[in-house]
Each structure stands twice: as C-alpha cells, then as structure tokens.
Amino acid sequence: MKQTILVTGGTGYVGSWVVKGLLENGHTVRLTVRDKSKQNKYQFLVDIANTTQGSLEIWEANLLEKGSFNEATKGCDSIAHIASPFILKVKNAQKDLVDPAVNGTINVLEAANKSETVKKIVLTSSVASVLGDNVDMKTFGISELTEEHFNTTSTLTHQSYSFSKVEAEKMAWEMAKAQSDWQLIVMNPAFVMGPSLTTTSQSGSLTIMKDILSGKYKTGAPELHFGYVDVRDIAKAHIFGLENKAEGRHILSGREATFLDLANSIEKSFPNTYKLPKSFAPKWIMSLIGFMFGVTRKFVKNNVGHPLKLNNSKSKLALKLNYIPFDKTIKDMVEQMKKLNVI
C-alpha cells in the first residue's frame, strides 16, 4: 500500500538511502529541511525522485523549533525520524548533541499526536542506546547484548553521543506509551559503514573512514571492537518497518570487527594503496595520546581491548534482513568516497 511518509534527516548518510528506497517503492516522501533555498543539500534526492514512481515533497522544519513539524505531518501515514547529530568532536554536548536529539524527538512525536493520521513511527536510535562502554558487558556479566538491554553508564560528560541517543529513545518510548494513535518501532544500528549518496554529510562514520585512509592510524590502530552494519541494510530495515508489521527495538549489526579488521578489508580490496595500520597500538599509548583523536582516558580504559557481542537474530527474523558482507560494505564505501572526491 502506498503511503505518505515524513522523513526527518533525509538528506543525511542514513536518511538519504531510506528516502531513495521509499521513492523506488512508489511512496510519497515528505522531506524536511531547515532551509528550502539551499537546494544543493537535497538536489540529489530530487534527481532520484525523477527516476522513480514515488514523489518527493520538500518541507521546512527545524528540530529545535517547537511546532515546526506540525504542518508537514498533517495527512501523513507514517514517520521515519532519522535526524540526530553524530558528531565526534563537540564543544557543548548539551547544545550540540542532547538538545537536538531529545527535543527534536519530542517535536516530531508531538506533531504526530496532533496529526490524527499518523499510525506508525520508525525511530532511528543506536546500539549506543543499548550499551555505553564495552567494559559494561564484563561489569554486568552480560555474554551478549539484546534488545532488552539499555545503556545506563553514559553521561553528559562521558560518552555524550551515546547519552544523547539513550535519552532520546527513552523519551520516545514514554511518549509512545502515553497515547494510542500510533505505534513506535525503533532501529538500533551499530557502527554504520557503506557508500554515501551525499557529499555533504557530517556523519562520524565518514570522518573515521577518511582518517583511516589518510594514514592517521598508520602506526597502530586502537583495539576497539564495534558492531558494523551497512547503511543500505539500515535503510532496508527502516523501509520494512514502515511497510510491514514490526514491533519494539531491533539491533542492526552485520558482525563485530575491530579497526584492524577494517584496515585489512581495505587492504584486501585496494592493495598497497593506503597507509594502513598493521597492528594494534598499545593501550597505554592510547591513554596518553587519546586526546589527539578526541577520546578521553576513561573512554580508552573502558573500551580499548574489551570485546563486544551483539545479538542480531531479531533483525534477521522480524525484518527479514540478510546482511551485506563486511568486505563488500568496505569496498563499496571506499570506491564511493573516491568517486565523490571526498578522499
């Protein structure tokens, strides 16, 4: 069934793939942007819309402006709320991360309450909302993370991005339980990788890949264990959730890997092309120089060298996800960055 779907953050790294997929499936997508006059930010989506059966509408709205989503939400069937900053280095965590994440979620969900037509909201959260630091698994005696777990250790001053995600998601669940007009479905993606449709994204995922390819870690990579997921798989999960029956939270992760696994995958597809790390940097060195990479000693202590295990079985079963292989994700991402001249 064709729907009218509001998408926030649709010009971003994840959001643009969601918009593309919805347009290809014939839906009407209402894309919210802060300033319609800056057409260069969304022209690539207009071009995509012109080649699909779907239609694209451009609406102005601001996450931090109360009531600004009300008009755009009127008459919508569903909402994909994807907009939330992922910035690695912030000057003011409250202003740059927490306020946009939490208040933006409140504004979008309040608009849904007023719409009288919205029946479903798919919210982009993160595994950062499931887990704070990798050491938490050992601390709390957890063998693997599931959708039942919530991050309880991140704060405004420690892991502030993770804190912004868990606060926004908890607010969304509170608001969902306080009404009966719409259903909330949450996606909790791991570290996002894969090709970008946009050259203007500020995503930390693209920043980290640029850092690796530029040789920033050539003397040694931190032994950080992540869950990795292809941006195209995240889009598939969102679209499935919007079009089909789904409920609750969904951990989205293709596999766990380290920075060294990432470097080895790049080397496999692009031999002798980039100055990549061949080994892990000692943890004590990371503690000393972590500030150069924007991380604190506490972050290094609680994450470097600590393994991670994410249970992705619900996403495979409930969302019918068949994850794209890690090496393909990395190869496609590097090739796309080269093509867009961002490396």
Average pLDDT over residues 258-282: 94
Neighbour order of strands in the sheet with 120-124? 55-60, 28-33, 4-8, 78-81, 120-124, 183-189, 248-252
At 88 the pLDDT is 60
Give exposure, 116-145, as e/b (b: 16+ Cβ within 10 Å).
Answer: eebebbbbbbbbbbbbbbbbbbeeeeeeeb
141 pLDDT above the threshold of 90: yes
Residue 169, token pair as written in the block = 């998601």
At 286 the pLDDT is 67
Cα separation, 205 vs 193, in Å, equals: 6
Topology of domain 4-337 in CATH is Rossmann fold (3.40.50)
Domain residue ranges of the chain, discontinuous segments joined by +: 4-337
Residue 10, token pair as written in the block = 């649709």
pLDDT tens-place string over residues 207-220: 889 889 999 889 88
Average pLDDT over residues 45-70: 96
Average pLDDT over residues 83-88: 70
pLDDT tens-place string over residues 161-213: 899 999 999 999 999 999 999 999 999 999 999 999 987 666 778 888 988 99
Nearest to 122 by CA among 24, 229, 239: 239
Please count the helices (runs of H) and the strands (runs of E) in the chain: 14, 10
Average pLDDT over residues 322-341: 93
Q: Minimum mean pLDDT among 80-89, 161-170, 311-320: which range?
A: 80-89
pTM value is: 0.94
Q: Minimum mean pLDDT among 54-58, 94-98, 111-115, 138-142: which range?
A: 94-98
Give exposure, 61-99, as e/b (b: 16+ Cβ within 10 Å).
Answer: bebeeeebbbebbbebbbbbbbbbbbbeebeebeebbbb
At 202 the pLDDT is 67
At 90 the pLDDT is 75
Nearest to 182 by CA among 101, 76, 66: 76
Cα separation, 41 vs 49, in Å, equals: 15
Q: 10 Å Cβ neighbour count for 221? A: 22
Q: Which residue has the tokens 């909790």?
A: 188
Cα separations (Å) of 73 from 7, 32, 79, 118, 173?
10, 10, 8, 8, 19
Name the DSSP letter for residue 94.
Answer: I
